[in-house]
Structure 1
Amino acid sequence: MSSRLWEALMANLLAGLRLAMGTLSVVPVGEVDTSRSTARVAMTLAPVAALPVAVGVGLTVWAADLAQLSPLVVGFLAVAVSALLTRCMHLDGLADTADGLGAGWDRERALAVMKRGDVGPMGAVALVVVLGLEAASVAALVDHPVVIGAAWCAGRAACTALAAGPSPATTGGMGALMTRTVSPAVAALAVALVALALAGVAALSGLQPIGACVAAAVAVVVVNALVIVCRRRFGGITGDVFGAAVEVATATLLVVLASGAWR
């Protein structure tokens, strides 16, 4: 491989990583390239780009547990730090998606509700349920902060999966930029590698690795179900659906990992 080609590949990789980190976290990355080629790399590296968030969550759990705080308090602190380090972007997507799904069967009305920016009753309930599940699951896993951080990274593989999914619901926005940038084969490989990495972290932390594999499989099913429902209601997926998928995947991973069956 020539040095010029290598430099071009590295530049594209770094540009994609910067776009992913700038999109998925509060890490300042400066001006980013928003071409579809860069978006392809960004969505493929989404789980890696979430490392700053995962480290922040893991350290919060470790420090709060060290201070002998109540496990449930630790759980809520973890989700609060995650929200802070992601600018609540994924939570905003979850709320908007839930409100859109509850707006009736008319596609145009649903998309208009999602664009309004306020939070309706469906969005509020979705936030309470998902955040509650995440906090309670962290409380059950409080002795395994590394596993908790790994689950936060693994949940971002939902972005990779959706980037290989159905067409966007609109012609503009984050959904249109990111959708269909990753091939199904690459997305499947990325999700499989993330599941194996999560299983490895679980094993090193004293949990049964099969639990991580089951968690990943259940998360895949849940995210696919969400995509099917959104595709039928919105005619495709949007940037909000990406955010909703991340939160739903993370909550699913944590709930399954928190099961006592893997201890």
Structure 2
Amino acid sequence: MKSVLALLQFCTSLPLGKPVDFEHFAHRSYLYPLAGYVIGGIAAGITYWIASPPVGAAVALATALLLSGCNHFDGLLDFGDGLMAHGSREKRIAAMTDRTTGAGAVAAGIIVTLLAFAGLQTAANLPATILIAEVCAKVAMSWLTTLGTPFREGIHSYLHGFAKPWFLVPTFLLALPLFLLPVPQVTIALALAATAVIAALMLALARRLFSGVNGDVVGAANEIVRAGIILLLVLP
């Protein structure tokens, strides 16, 4: 339970009492999907009572962002700056890790948010869609934490130091309850497959541009996977 509590204190802004030693979660980063169930479940529960698709989509995204403390969204902005920077690898890393917000950050934030919002508006089952997307986003975070070789010291390198290759398996198993949702099972399977593909692409891109992964890349993966899975779920 301490591992789960440490996970939720790290991934959410929920008032969960006295901070638990972060190392409890660091040893079990395969638990990431549980945070997806909590954040996505709360967002789904709220939007279940909203009849208007645009309002429901906006509230779902706002809930996910606020419950996560916008930490992963901040990673997306930093990743956008690094992605759009010109020049050497060192310049890209500097652009991603400095404290300024450039055009790349703004563009990344707008594009990913717009895609997710547009997709949620057309979802036949908005509560299930946001829940599936949020869990898949956390699956991607866990996989990048396990597989992403760090290029600098930080929270990612700390988590990666405890991660083991077999963490990939329990992370996937924790996503299997999604098959109990009132959604075609083939759709859930496609969502998990797409999560693996996006995570692999993010990993390859990070290695090419930055020579590795940091917390910004992992956070960006959360936002990008969420939007990607939402779009996949609403495709005819």
| TM, length-normalised to structure 1 | 0.82
Q: 1:186 to 1:176 in 2, by over 3 A?
A: closer
1:61 aligns with 2:42: no
Q: Which amino acid aligns with 2:208?
A: R
Post-superposition CA distance 1:210-258 (Å, at most 9, x none): 0111121112111211111111221211111110111111112111111
Q: Which residue of 1 aligns with 2:30?
A: 44
Aligned to 1:168, the other structure's residue is in SS state coil
Q: Which residue of 1 aligns with 2:114?
A: 132
Q: 1:142 to 1:81 in 2, by over 3 A?
A: farther
Which of 156, 171, 195 is the equivalent residue of 1:190?
171
After TM superposition, the structure 1 = structure 2 runs for residues 97-176 of structure 1, keeping only pairs within 5 Å, are 97-141=79-123, 143-171=125-153, 173-176=154-157
Aligned to 1:87, the other structure's residue is in SS state coil
- Residue-pair matches, total: 235
Q: 1:44 to 1:50 in 2, by over 3 A?
A: same
Which of 213, 228, 231 is the equivalent residue of 2:189?
213
RMSD between superposed Cα atoms in Å: 1.9
Aligned to 1:63, the other structure's residue is in SS state coil
| TM, length-normalised to structure 2 | 0.90
Gaps of 5+ in 2: none
Q: Which residue of 1 aligns with 2:234?
A: 258
Q: Which residue of 2 aligns with 1:199?
A: 179
Gaps of 5+ in 1: 1-13
Identity %: 25
Q: 1:38 to 1:83 in 2, by over 3 A?
A: closer
C-alpha deviation, 1:31, in angstroms: 2.2
C-alpha deviation, 1:183, in angstroms: 2.1
Contact 1:137 1:254 in 2 (8 A): yes
Q: Which residue of 2 aligns with 1:15?
A: 2
1:237 aligns with 2:213: yes
1:28 aligns with 2:15: yes
Contact 1:161 1:188 in 2 (8 A): no
C-alpha deviation, 1:39, in angstroms: 0.5
Runs of 4+ with deviation above 6 angstroms = none
The separation in 1 between residues aligned to 2:141 and 2:5, in whole angstroms, is 15
Q: 1:98 to 1:213 in 2, by over 3 A?
A: same
